Structure 1
Amino acid sequence: MHGLLRRLFAPRWQHPDPEVRRKALQQLDPQQTEQREALMALANDSDSGIQLAALLALDDLNGLLAAYPQHAQDEAWFNALCQRITGVEGHVDLQQRQACASTLTDQRLLNAIAMQGDNLGLRLVALERLTDEEDLVQQACHNSVAAVRHQAAERVNDEEQLKRLLREARRDRQVVRFAKEKLTQLRNDAQWLTDQQAQREHLLAQLEQHARAPWEPLYGGRFRHLEREWQQLSHPPSVSQEQRFHQAVLSCRKTLHDHETQEQARQQSLARRAEAENTRDQLLEGLEETLEGLTHASELTAQDIDSLRAQRQLLGQRWQSLSDLHPPNETTQKRYSQALKQYEQSMEAWQRWQAVSPAVEHALVNNAHDELAEHVATCQWPATLSPPALLVQAQKQLAAQQTAPPPSGLSLNAMTAELDNFEHLLERGAFKSASRLHQRLKPSIEALTGNDAKPLKSRLKHLGARLAELRDWRGFVAGPKREQLCASIDALADDQHMAESALDRHHRQLVKEWKALGDAAANREQSARFRAASDRIHERLAPWRAQLDQEREANLHGREALCEQLETLLSQPAEDADPDVLREIRDKARHQWRHYSPVPREHSEAIGRRFGAIRHRLQALIDQRAEQIAAHKRALIEQVQALQSDTEQPLAARITRTKQLQQEWRSLGRAPKGEEQALWKSFRSACDQLFAQRDAQKHEQATRQQQTLEQLQTIIDEMEGWQPSHAHESAQLETYLASINQLEPLPRNRRSEGMQRRLSGIVRAKRERLSRLDIVSKVQQWHALLPLVNAHLEADQRALNGEGIQEVEIPNEITTHLSTAFNEAHQQRNHARLSATLPLLDEQQRALEEQLARLRVHLSLLALGSVKQRDEPLRLAIQVERLNSGLHTERSKTDELDEVLVALLALGPMPYRLWQQEVNELDNLLGRLARPPQP
């Protein structure tokens, strides 16, 4: 019965029949408040035609936009919305229409707005939202506004669409020009890209071929040219091209480094070879000079033989050590062999003489001519070597006593040989030896008889004349020379300012020159004068020579201490001794050995042999430790090579292990000299290959990170352009955030941080907008429940007037589904009416007023954020309640509004007078909350 009455007395715009509601809608005036509310209610009608007519009558563009997605396929909705936005119908201002157009995503609608808009700015806003290039081509060809055509043409980038634009855009030459320029630019860009790729491939092929080629003088210049050409190309290479380039560069640099190492080693080898040759020549020249001096000496002494033996031993040691490093050339080897041969002859002659010298001395004392001749013949003293003084005396005695002619045959041949030797001595200028030989041969040859002796006598006479000529010449030259030497030594003896070392050096030189003159132009006065001056120099140099002897003794003690230290080191060598440290000890020992020089001659050979043995042992220890280090380094190379092929371990772990192996390599000493460079080359090559893999992985990771940032940028741009128009679109925001979470983790750099800050701002803005739209939907839901509220107010007023208490049913015009909270509030309102004491007591009246005022103040806080001064106590109480309720759960503004509206519906029974006092302010506050957020 109640439903029938309600249908009978309900307004026609609430009639169940859509046709009745449509006719009633045409009679409603939006200028009147109650009829406008009816139109607003019809804007949510279930019939799409009625809903569209109500929105058009209200001129509600926002409503049309909000409802358009559900009716996008309806042509009437499309035409109506298009006419409202383009300005053909309605009275919406331009700014609002532009704002609405900036939020549209429907391409068909945007196309229509760009074609039919009544304002250039509106058309450009719609054009900016177009994304399909076919639509842009359509606008560029057929839009009636030139500015729109030009902007649309500027945004076309696809080659096929540009060709279409060039064919169809005949009415606008500037559009045609845009299309031609872009097509030309695209072709140029494509050609440029092809050229860049071709150049990179060509350079890569040349660089890879260059990496495989052996070194040549122009290798480094060619490599730098190719590398510079690669860097000058502006288009970035691909990942595979970058890897190929990096590998080729490593190979080229390895070739250059290997050549530099080899060249440096070759230069060092040449320098060492030149130094060895120079040292070898100096040693050999010293031995040759000593042997030559023995040939021209007045007599041979044991001191001369000892000096020769020591020099030979030193030469042998140094020659062998130098030959182990660098073998001598053929000429130097021949000189060395000749010098050794001459040395061996001299030493053998001396040993023979040492064996017969006691017998020769005994025969001279006993005047035993036959024994003396036999012993002299046994000695076989070489004619090229100066004889000892005792042998000279024996030869003189034999020459004086030899009067009998020598036997024929063999004796004549011997005499001929002696004459040949005599002639050879004259040619050499050995006057003293030639004179002795002449004195010995002259009696023997003159005693010969017969025709066979005549040639010998004639030759002896001729050679004697040459000897006399040589004697005269020596006397002619030696006389002034002796006088000069006497004057020089007198001046040297009288010079009190010359240093002792220089004095000794000049004195020795003068004595050597004096002895070299022999007996040429000799006289007793000059000899005595020279000897007296020499004695004075000896007396003056006596303290200095004593000091030199002390220094020699000190140097000897220093060499002995050095040998003892090295022997102590070698007796207990450390197992992990560093060969570099041992090499440093060896070099310093050599330097100290040279520093402790000279030493006494009688101890020089023994201490030299001792130091040589120690040095040999030290070098053996160095070689042993260097070989151990070489074995260790070969093991490190094998480990690095194993890391290259170990795909089970991550690359980062392998790189870390490689760096540890590099540190271990640096902590080791040097391997043997010929092997260190080869080991280092292998180790470095293996490490470079691992680092090349790391660089390639980093480049690939950087590329992935760049792609990730580009994807994030795309999502951020899409989110920024997305403007939600309904609260239920929050799922789209969560979809965006889920897409962003899939890109985690993001790279850490300035660009990523900036993008994240921008994303946080966009997300916060979108959440605020969705929250505001949710509030708008709550207010709209309250407006939809106004028939139910009015029904409760009418029932409350009838009950308060005593006209009977009745339960209010949900009106039929409320088509929206009531939430659980509102349904409970509806039941609570009915129960409050049924259980209330009527009429209301004053206390109940004041309680209702206080609760209604409290809800108004709460709503004012939500809408305005402030209240009037008279409502300040209520604001404080509400703030305390909000703080207490927010301790455990976070309450949003939408939840608070929902609670206020539910409480407002449940509050009753409400006198109509009390409601009328507050309803206007409540409507104003809800109107503020119902304002849609600006984009």
Structure 2
Amino acid sequence: MLMPTRNINGENKPMSAFLKKLFKPKWKSSNAITRKEYISALNPSTEEDRKILLDLARNDSDNQVRRAAIKKIDSVNTLLSLYQDPSNLIKPAVKDRLEELAKSNSLPIYEIITDESLLVELVTSAETAEQYLGALSRLSASSLESIATDAKLNQLRLSAVELVTEEASLATIEKQAKNKDKRVYQVAKSKLKEIKESKRKRADALAKQETLISSLEAHAKSETVKLYSAKLNSLLDTWNQLGECLDESLIKRFDASKTACELKAEHFKQEQTKAELEQQRIQEQASERTETLNTLEQTFERFKQTPFESASELSALDAIIKTQETRWLEATKNSSIDKAEQKQYQQLMNDLKHYLKSAQCFMGNKDQFAALQDKSDTSDTVDHTLDLKKISHFINQVDWPSHFAAPPLFKALSKAAGNISTQKQKTQQNTDKLQHTIEEQLALLEKDLNNRALKPSALRFKELNQLVRSLDKPTSGQYTGKLQLLGKQLDELKDWYGYAVTPKQNELCEQIERLAEQHLEPQTKADKIKELQDEWKKLGGSSDQKVWLRFKAGCDAAYAPCKDYFEEQKSLKKSNIEKRKTICQQLSDFVNQNDWHNTDWKAVEKINRTAREEWKSCYPVEFKENKQVQKTFNELLAKLDQYLDDERERNKQLKQDIVEKAQSLITHEPLSEAIESAKTLQSEWQKVGITLHKDDRALWKEYRAACDEIFKRRDEANESKQHAINEALAQADALCEEAECLSEKTDTVSAKTLADLRQRFKEISPIPKKEHEKLAARLDNSINYIKSEQDKRKAAEENALWLDANRKSKLIRDAAETLHSGGTIENIAELTNEISSSSEQAQPITNALLDVWTTLTGDTPLAKQPASIEQAKTICIQCEIAAEIESPEEDQALRMQLQVNRLSQGINNQQDGDSKKIELEKHLLEWFQLCLLPKEVRAGLEARIDNVLANRT
């Protein structure tokens, strides 16, 4: 039996503390083995045992006990909460238990973890990669960025960076992995390069597409007809080559401008076809008019030279006049005719009509005067047989045109009655004056008609008719055609004044009705309706109510589709105003409520940019309603820009300080300290916040220039040496190129120039042996080629000189033979000019030929006899010996004798090329001085000399 005890106050105290100590739970035992054994009996599904396991896992002092407790827990959430415990001692055990649970459920560990940050932590610290590779594809860019830079395993880091697609994340990875993980750094750098290249290509393609669409839109507005379709096809081909366009707004613009261009191209094509047909008609009419004039002129000349002989000729003339008149009317219909051409036609037609009328009148009444046909003295006949007045009346009635051949009978009658021209001379002066007046009035009438002055035109036309009627018939006939043409123009002017308005209004009605049926852009259709209404107003309205109602109905029908469009536009403008007000309100809230002393400035920049873009997208708007909203928006942007400008200015100063520090390091010693300090400054640069792009680039350029100078010092020695070699190679290469360029124009290259090339090559600073040999050979090839070409050209020029001298010597011999045979030279001056003409280089040869020619053509008769056959053959054979050409068989003996003589004179066949050339030229000159040759051998010897010159080298 347990006895109570007393406390310090003398009271009885129960023995609970002792009992508790005596019956302490095994999981609290001081023996770790006991605690570990007790864990196996716990049930984690009960609340009390689960708490005991959590307590042991978190707080037990023995690592084995903690691991045993963790291994007993089967709740994933409990394990995850344990993993997030501040203590890092239990994390490996928790991680092992999580992997064990996942494996037992045939799941990868990442399938049972929903917390991304926890999963990232597990991946980062993973010891094996296989079970976590699948988790990477479900992680965010920021998580992948963290794994790519911090994961323990290289395979996980590489797999993570491979999955990153955002440029900002790749840039961060590249920066952090630069000095830590070369492979990750290279992958990030490569992907960044691909992204930038892709963006550049997209930007280039977009810019090209934008430019092409602008060109297409400009082409749609162009009124240049020439090559319109060709340029359109070129633009469309270029568009197809640019690849697919992903910008919906650009696609819409392209489709709209393409449709507009195709419609205009079709319109231009129709207009061009119409113009071509019109031009063809004009050309055909011009051809017809030319043929008509030719026919009339031929007919005129026919009857002008020879009088008609029978009535059938007059019938034929009548038919020609009628057919050509019809032909002319068809050829002048709806065409502008040259005044000179019209005048020529009128003159010819009037003359022929006058002639036909006079001839018909003569033929109808000539029988009463037939007795005069065979009389030689008409005056006596008239006195005794006919009345002179009757003859005069007949002559006046016939009114024969003076420039046509008259029949013999008419001539006889004219002689009897006196000269017709004499009879008309009395009134000629008055007629000339009247014609002058008529010509002036015709010019004034044409001017009035062109100016559409109806009343003055009608009055002047009436006066002209009166003046023309006062002339005699032949003269008045000159103006008949002209007056008819002007009368038609006057009638057209009257018709225009009477009927121009109504047809024009009917035409406007038809246009507005066609417009109503066309599918056009509403704004375009509204503009066209306005244009037609303005034209209607210019016509002064209509007195015909039906026409007006028709036009009004057409306008209403055409405007109906536009009405809905403008209503939609009105609604859209109202909606856009509301959106802009919302933007202003949101921007105002941000500006007024943001903590400007502690803010994300990049986010502020984005808000600024986004607000402007959204503002632009809210278009169109009503100007009046937008005015105040725009003012508010501008004021808010000004405030926002001020905050941004202040921050940029602060950051600009920070970067300016970094630049100045970097510049001070350029001359800093030792160099290693300068390099390390430059790297530190670069880290400081990256920490500085936003700046204006322009300022940032300028400062960065200065900073990079300073850093480049620092690192440049390290490589100066090697670079200096390599630079000298490169410069020498460049100079040598340039010299070779210069020589190669000279080889393309060898005729202008002097020997001094070639020598100068070699000397300049020698003066170039030392070049590596292999390159020196290669360049020297290249230069020698070019110089040798130039010399070879110059030698060839010089030889060709010299050969041409000797061939020309040979030709001239033959001319001299021809002339000598002519003189020797007693003849004369007809073209002596021409031959003298021919023989004396030569270049400066051929002057010695020409002088020798001129001496021969002067002797030949002197004042004294030719006394010179032909050279002997032996002399001629000797010179010819000497030329062949010098040219190393065989002589004919019959001259071999003479040749042998000459060669023996050469040997006796000390001249051998082993002469060098120059000596042989001089000897040949000497003998050729002797040959050219042979003025006369025996005829029987001349041709053969000259042929042999031709062969010598042909083989001269």
| TM-score interval (norm. to shorter) | 0.3 to 0.5
Q: Greater relative contact order: 1 or 2 (C-alpha under 8 angstroms, separation 6 or more)?
A: 1
The structure with the largest alpha-carbon Rg is 1
TM-score, normalised by the number of residues in structure 2: 0.35
